[in-house]
C-alpha cells in the first residue's frame, strides 16, 4: 500500500489520540496515587484536542486516504465530535466512582482512549479490513475494562462471557467478509458496492456472506438472537464501565452498520431487510417483556437496550435516506438517555454501596427532588412519552418503517412500547410514592451535578425543540450518501 503525506491529514485526530495515549501510559508510571488527577486531566485534554483537530479538518466533500481504506466525510466528523463529548461525559460521571473503588489509575484512562481510538477507526473505515481492525481494538479494550476490577468474581465472569461470545461474533463477521470478498473480488466498500449490480443476487457465497455479516453486526448492536452477553456484562461490569459500554460504542456501531451494510451492501437491501425486520421484532418483544421481571436496574436497562436496538433497526430496514437519518437521530437520543440513566446510578453509588437495585431508588424524591426529577425525565423519555425527546426518536423510526411498507411491524412496535412503559414508570413510582430505604445524604461533585443536570434538561429541551438535531442528522446522511 502506497500513501503520501496528504494521507496523514484525514487521520490527524487518530494520530493525536494515539500519541497522547502513549504519553499518559508512560507518565502514569511515575505518578503517585495522589497525583492521578494529572492522568485524568490529560485524558480530558486529549478529547478536547481531538475535537479541535476534527473541527478544523471538517469537510463536506469526502476525503479518502491510505488507498481508499480510510474516509474523512461529514458523517465521520459529526459522529467523532459526538463521541468526544460522550467519552468526556463518561469520565466526569465516573470520577468519584472509580476513585472509591481503586480504579482511578492510568489503566482505566488508557483503555478508554484505546476503545475510543477503535471507535474512531470504525467511524472512518471505508475498507472491510479497516472496519474490522477498529472493531477489534474496541472489543479488546472493552474486555479488559470489564475485568479491570480484578478482585470481583462477578466482573471477571462477565468479562469471560463477553470475551468468548465476542470472539465468536468477530469470527462470524470475518468469515462473512471473506465470503463477500470471494464473491466480489474486493474488500473496499465502494468497489464491493459497484460490483454487486453485476452479480447474480442468488449467488450462494454472497448470500451466506451476507448472513454471517448480519450476525456479526447483530452481536455488536446487541439485538436478538445475539443478545445473550448484554445483561450479564451490564450487571457484572463496574457501573462506570457499564456506562461506557452502554453509550459511546452505540455511535460507532451505527457508523459500522452505515459503512458496511448501507454503503457496501446496499445493493442487497431486498435480502437483508427481512432479516432486520425479524430481529427488530424479536428484540423489541424479548427486551421489553424480559425487562419487567428484573430487580437489578443495570440488568433492566440492559434488556431496555435490546428493545431500543430493535427500534434502531426500524430505521435501517426502511432502506431510505429518511430511514437512515431517523436511525442516526435515534442512536444519538438513546446515547443521551443512557448517559443520564447510568449517570444517576453512579450518582447514588458510594464506597461499598452499588445503587444497582430497583429498591435503591425508593423515596428518592424525599432525599433529592431535583435528582428524582432528572431520573423521571430519563425514564419518561426511554418509554417514548412526550414532551421528551424519546417520543420523537421513536416516532421518526416508526414513520420511516411505515413509509417502507412495514405496517405490521409498526403496529407490533407500538404495542410492545406500551408494554415497555411499565418497567420505566415503575421506577417513577418507586421514587415518588415509596418510603426511602436509604436516608444517607447524596454527595456529588459539582462538575457531575452540573453535567447530569444539563444532560437531563437536554432530554426535555430536545423534546420541545427536536428540529435542529433532526436537521443535523438529515444533512449528515444526505452528504454521506
- pLDDT tens profile 51-110: 999 999 888 888 888 888 888 889 999 999 999 999 999 999 999 888 888 888 888 999
Q: Determine the 3-state secondary structure of 184 from DSSP.
A: helix
Does residue 193 sit within a domain?
A: no
**How is the chain split among helix, strand and coil, in percent rounded to 5?**
80, 5, 20
The domain in which residue 468 lies consists of: 269-481
Residue 373: its pLDDT value, please?
93
- 89 CB contacts (<8 Å, ≥6 apart)? 247, 339, 343, 451, 455
pTM: 0.93
Is the preceding omega at residue 387 within 30 degrees of 0, hence cis? yes
417: which 3 cell numbers?
412500547
Residue 1: its pLDDT value, please?
52
- Report CA 20 to chain centroid distance, whole Å: 24
Does residue 209 sit within a domain?
A: no
Residues 106, 28: contact at Cβ < 8 Å? yes
Residue 437: its pLDDT value, please?
80
Task: For 352-376, give the secondary structure using H, E and C.
Answer: CECCCEHHHHCCHHHHCHHHHHHHH
The count of other CB atoms within 10 Å of the CB of residue 271 is: 16
306: which 3 cell numbers?
435490546
User: Which mean pLDDT values do the consecutive 10-residue runs of the chain (481 residues) have?
Assistant: 69 93 90 85 94 89 84 91 94 90 87 94 92 93 90 88 90 92 87 83 80 90 87 91 93 92 84 90 93 91 93 89 92 94 89 80 87 93 91 93 90 92 92 82 85 93 92 89 76
Residues 232, 199: contact at Cβ < 8 Å? no
Tally of structural domains, the chain: 1
Residue 2: its pLDDT value, please?
58
Residues 363-395 pLDDT 10s: 888 888 899 999 999 999 999 898 999 999 999
Does residue 108 sit within a domain?
A: no
Does residue 419 sit within a domain?
A: yes
Does residue 421 sit within a domain?
A: yes
Residues 281, 341: contact at Cβ < 8 Å? no
Does residue 39 sit within a domain?
A: no
Residue 434: its pLDDT value, please?
84
Does residue 52 sit within a domain?
A: no
Residue 414: its pLDDT value, please?
93
Determine the Cα–Cα distance for residues 451 and 455; give it in Å rounded to an integer: 6
Does residue 185 sit within a domain?
A: no
Amino acid at each position: 500500500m502506497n500513501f503520501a503525506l496528504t494521507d496523514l491529514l484525514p487521520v490527524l485526530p487518530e494520530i493525536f489520540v494515539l500519541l497522547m495515549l502513549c504519553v499518559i501510559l508512560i507518565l502514569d508510571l511515575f505518578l503517585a496515587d495522589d497525583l492521578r488527577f494529572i492522568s485524568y486531566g490529560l485524558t480530558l485534554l486529549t478529547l478536547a484536542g481531538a475535537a479541535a483537530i476534527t473541527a478544523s479538518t471538517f469537510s463536506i466533500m469526502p476525503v479518502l486516504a491510505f488507498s481508499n481504506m480510510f474516509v474523512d466525510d461529514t458523517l465521520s466528523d459529526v459522529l467523532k465530535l459526538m463521541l468526544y463529548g460522550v467519552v468526556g461525559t463518561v469520565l466526569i460521571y465516573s470520577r468519584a466512582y472509580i476513585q472509591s473503588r481503586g480504579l482511578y489509575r492510568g489503566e482505566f484512562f488508557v483503555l478508554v482512549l484505546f476503545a475510543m481510538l477503535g471507535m474512531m477507526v470504525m467511524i472512518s473505515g471505508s475498507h472491510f479490513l479497516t472496519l474490522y481492525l477498529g472493531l477489534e481494538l474496541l472489543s479488546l479494550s472493552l474486555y479488559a475494562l470489564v475485568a479491570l476490577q480484578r478482585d470481583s468474581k462477578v466482573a471477571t465472569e462477565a468479562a469471560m462471557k463477553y470475551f468468548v461470545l465476542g470472539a465468536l461474533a468477530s469470527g462470524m463477521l470475518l468469515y462473512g467478509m471473506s465470503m463477500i470478498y470471494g464473491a466480489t473480488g474486493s474488500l473496499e466498500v465502494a468497489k464491493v458496492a459497484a460490483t454487486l449490480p453485476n452479480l447474480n443476487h442468488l449467488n450462494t457465497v454472497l448470500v451466506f456472506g451476507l448472513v454471517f455479516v448480519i450476525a456479526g453486526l447483530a452481536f455488536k448492536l446487541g439485538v436478538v438472537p445475539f443478545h445473550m452477553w448484554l445483561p450479564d456484562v451490564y450487571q457484572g461490569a463496574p457501573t462506570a464501565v457499564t456506562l461506557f459500554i452502554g453509550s459511546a460504542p452505540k455511535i460507532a456501531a451505527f457508523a459500522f452498520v452505515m459503512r458496511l451494510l448501507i454503503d457496501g451492501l446496499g445493493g442487497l437491501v431486498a435480502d437483508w431487510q427481512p432479516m432486520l425486520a425479524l430481529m427488530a421484532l424479536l428484540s423489541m418483544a424479548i427486551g421489553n417483556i424480559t425487562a419487567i421481571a428484573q430487580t437489578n436496574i443495570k440488568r433492566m436497562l440492559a434488556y431496555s437496550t435490546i428493545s431500543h436496538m430493535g427500534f434502531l433497526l426500524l430505521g435501517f430496514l426502511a432502506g431510505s435516506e429518511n430511514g437512515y437519518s431517523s436511525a442516526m437521530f435515534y442512536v444519538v437520543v438513546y446515547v443521551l438517555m443512557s448517559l443520564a440513566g447510568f449517570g444517576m446510578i453512579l450518582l447514588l453509588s458510594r464506597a461499598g454501596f452499588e445503587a444497582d437495585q430497583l429498591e435503591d431508588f425508593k423515596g428518592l424524591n424525599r432525599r433529592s427532588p431535583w435528582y428524582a426529577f432528572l431520573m423521571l425525565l430519563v425514564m419518561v423519555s426511554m418509554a417514548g412519552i412526550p414532551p421528551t425527546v424519546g417520543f420523537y426518536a421513536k416516532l421518526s423510526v416508526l414513520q420511516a418503517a411505515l413509509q417502507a411498507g412495514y405496517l405490521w411491524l409498526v403496529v407490533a412496535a407500538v404495542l410492545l412500547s406500551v408494554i415497555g412503559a411499565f418497567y420505566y414508570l415503575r421506577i417513577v413510582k418507586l421514587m415518588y410514592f415509596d418510603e426511602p430505604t436509604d436516608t444517607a445524604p447524596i454527595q456529588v461533585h459539582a462538575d457531575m451535578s452540573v453535567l447530569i443536570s444539563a444532560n437531563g434538561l437536554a432530554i426535555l429541551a430536545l423534546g420541545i425543540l427536536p428540529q435542529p438535531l433532526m436537521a443535523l442528522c438529515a444533512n449528515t446522511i444526505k452528504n454521506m450518501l
